[in-house]
Every structure is written in C-alpha cells, then in structure tokens.
Amino acid sequence: MVENTALIVDDDSSARLILTNMLDHIGCESIAANDGSEALKFVDNSDVSVVLCDWDMPGISGVDLCAQLRQRNEGRYIYFILVSGRTERDSIVAGLEAGADDFICKPVDLDELTVKIKSAFRIIKLERQLEERNAKLQRAYAAVTDDLVIAGNIQANLLPAPYPGAGCNTDWLFKPAQYVSGDMLDYFKFEEKYWVFFVMDVEGHGIPSALTVFSVNNQLNPTATGLCARMLTTCDTVAEACIGTVTELNASVQGGRYFTMIFGVLDLETGEVTMTQAGHPPALHLSCSNGSVKAIGDGGMPVGLLEDATFEAVSCQLEPGDRLFVYSDGTIECAGADEALYGNERMEELICELKDEPVHIVCKRLDEDLIRWNGDKPFDDDVTLLAIEYQGPGS
C-alpha cells in the first residue's frame, strides 16, 4: 500500500465507486470498506491514515466509527472526514465531538475533495514527522536517563561505609533530589589520630553540580598524596590544615560552580573538633551529659565565589558520647505540604529525643521524618546529613 492511501467507508456501492474514481483522478490510492466493522479490520491490518466515511450507515455509523477509532488510540493519527448531506449545526457539533477532523457535503465536489484530501495528507505528513522527532527525543531521553542512573550509582559508590569503629561511630543520610546530587560527604581516618570529614553542597542540581562534586571529592581523597594528607602533614596546626585545604579548593574551582562546605578534623585522642565553615549551615554539637544542642560556626564565604576569599577555623570540644551533626541546607529547608520548612528546631528536637539511640538509628529516623514531612512530591533539594559520635581515646 502506498503512503497516500485513503480508506473509503460507505454501505452504498455506487457512492464508493464515485469516491474511488475521484480519488484516482487526483492521484490518490484508495481502498474501500462496506461498513464500519470492515473498516476497523482495514485499519488494524494496514497503515491507512485518512478515512472518508459516510455518516449514515447500518450498524456502526460514521460518527460511531470515528469515536471508536479515537478511543482505540491506534498509535498513529488517523485523519477522519465525514461525508454527509447533513449541514445543520447540531450534526456538525456531534461530528466534532466524536473526533472528526473535517466534513464533505454530498454530492461530493471534486475540487473540494481535492483540497481536503491534500490538506489531510499534508497534516498526516506533519504528524508523522512530529512522531519521528518525538521518538528520537524519547530515545535520547532514555539514553541520558540511563547515563544519569549510572552516574548516580557511581556517586553512591563514592559514599563511605557507615563506621562503627574505634574512636567514633559515624553514619549518614544522603538523598539526591535528582539522579545525581550536588551534595557530597566523606570521612576517613588519618594516621590513626585524626578523623577527617566534610560535607559539601554545590549550587544548583543535576550534572553540572555533580561534576563539581566529583572533582572536589577527588582532591579530598584519603591517599597520602591527597590534599587532606598534604595539609595535615605540612601545616603546623590542625586549624591551619583546615583553612589551607579550603583555601586551595577555592583557588582550584574558580570559574566553575561555587559550593558551601564544612571541612573538619576530629582529634580522636582529645575529642577536639576543628572545622572550616565555608558558607555552610553551622554544625550541631549534641552534649551527651545534658542533652543540649549548640550550633558551631557562624557563616564564612562559599568556596569558589571569590578568588581572594579568606577562611577561618572554628572548634569545639567533644566528650565521650557527644555527637556532631553536619548537614546541607536541603535538610532544614525541606518544604512540607503547607510549604512550611522542616527547620532547625524540628531537627534539633529529634536528635535530642534520639540521643540514647545509635547513630544509624538517628539517621534512619531523620530520613523517615523528612519523607513524612516532604510528602509524596519529589524533594526540591539534595538532602545530606553526617552524624559523628565521639567515643573517647582508646575506645
């Protein structure tokens, strides 16, 4: 069957013949059906896309046939022209409501038929071109989605394993808003004395932010040649090492996406935590002895925003059993059903309530509470939280 083929549907053989001859005269191939049931079989077994159908037929009328074709959703668009002597407004409205695209009045005029058939095939051609473009877009979207899933899995594999070990217990909560996250966290032991950790939050979401995450995470790797090890072994104090680490990151990411972060070092022998806060929400220190929560740090400049930005160090003293929470703003700015934010107060109340639970239970309960708060909608921002419980020297 050639591409420009029309299906004629009429229970009157003379009417079918007349339309067949007219279509042949204008160079259009045609096939003919005696009634609506036969027409449906032709549609099922061919790629016909233009139908010329008589309105009044026994069994399935032209309007009913049109309605059935529209309900079936053939996977391709079928241009439907009703052929009828009816010209009253109500009939035209009924035909349009059934899904008809056009009307031709009996007796059929050749010039009118020519114009309408050419218009029908022109529209069908445009529809098919649009379908092809949409198919290409869907294939491209599927390929991009597959790549993003892989990238998300790679990022997830970069996350550290929960650490219930000597000196401290550490666990985390990590929820990307999209396939890949602009947040990142990591921690590792250095020279048996230091517990190095960081949480970062790159501006924006998706691939550009994730690429910055990968770059920074690579620089902060725990190897002997990584930035962290170099700073801790060459600087005179831990505070200088923290400041130097963030300062070097700031120089390396100029011209790219800026990010906020807390980079810190816990001295496993003394319990002292030293951190550089770069535009990130303050860390929370939960005291085991009295259950109080204290915010550590009051701001700082984001990394990568200004080339000559300077950074400072803050510190706090952890006693055995004390906990430190470092989180991204997506945690406290998670919006509930009424657009109210989750907020610091709610989070602080929950971590105080769970002060006697293991840190992995705290992270699990925070995750559950955030999901309830956020509701059924996707998270608007990446959510990250790091929980560190200091156990004391020699533990």
Based on the number of CB atoms within 10 Å of its own CB, is 194 exposed (0-12), middle (13-18) or buried (19 or more)?
Answer: buried
Domain assignment of residue 146, yes or no: no
Q: What is the pLDDT of residue 46?
A: 84
Domain check: are 66 and 195 in the same one? no
Domain check: are 234 and 348 in the same one? yes
Domain assignment of residue 379, yes or no: yes
Domain assignment of residue 199, yes or no: yes
Domain check: are 19 and 69 in the same one? yes
Number of separate domains in the chain:
2
Domain check: are 186 and 105 in the same one? no
Q: What is the pLDDT of residue 74?
A: 62
Domain check: are 251 and 318 in the same one? yes
Q: Model confidence over 180-191: pLDDT tens digits?
A: 899 999 999 999
The boundaries of the domain holding residue 82 are: 5-133
Domain check: are 171 and 112 in the same one? no
Q: What is the pLDDT of residue 265?
A: 97
Q: Model confidence over 325-370: pLDDT tens digits?
A: 999 999 999 999 888 999 999 999 999 999 999 999 999 999 999 9
Q: What is the pLDDT of residue 282?
A: 96
Domain check: are 238 and 330 in the same one? yes
Domain closes at, from 84, 118, 133:
133
Q: Model confidence over 255-286: pLDDT tens digits?
A: 889 999 999 999 999 999 999 999 999 999 99
Give CA–CA dist 120/151, Å, rounded.
46
pTM of the entire structure? 0.74
Domain check: are 43 and 109 in the same one? yes
Give CA–CA dist 225/215, Å, rounded.
15
Domain closes at, from 117, 133, 149:
133
Domain CATH code at residue 185: 3.60.40.10
Give CA–CA dist 353/101, Å, rounded.
66
Q: Is the pLDDT of residue 18 over 50?
A: yes
In terms of Cα–Cα distance, which of 257, 265, 281 is closest to 220? Answer: 265
Q: What is the pLDDT of residue 3?
A: 61
Domain check: are 113 and 200 in the same one? no
Q: Model confidence over 219-233: pLDDT tens digits?
A: 998 888 889 999 999
Domain assignment of residue 395, yes or no: no
Q: Is the pLDDT of residue 1 over 60?
A: no
Domain assignment of residue 141, yes or no: no
Q: What is the pLDDT of residue 148?
A: 85
Domain check: are 214 and 89 in the same one? no
Confidence of residue 303 (pLDDT cuts 50, 70, 90): very high
Domain assignment of residue 139, yes or no: no
Domain check: are 78 and 192 in the same one? no
Domain assignment of residue 145, yes or no: no
Domain assignment of residue 110, yes or no: yes
Give CA–CA dist 365/53, Å, rounded.
64
Q: What is the pLDDT of residue 71?
A: 87
Domain check: are 50 and 119 in the same one? yes
Q: Is the pLDDT of residue 2 over 60?
A: no
Domain CATH code at residue 88: 3.40.50.2300
Give CA–CA dist 264/241, Å, rounded.
9
Strand order from edge to edge, sheet including 163-164: 163-164, 168-175, 383-390, 323-327, 283-286, 293-296
Confidence of residue 253 (pLDDT cuts 50, 70, 90): very high
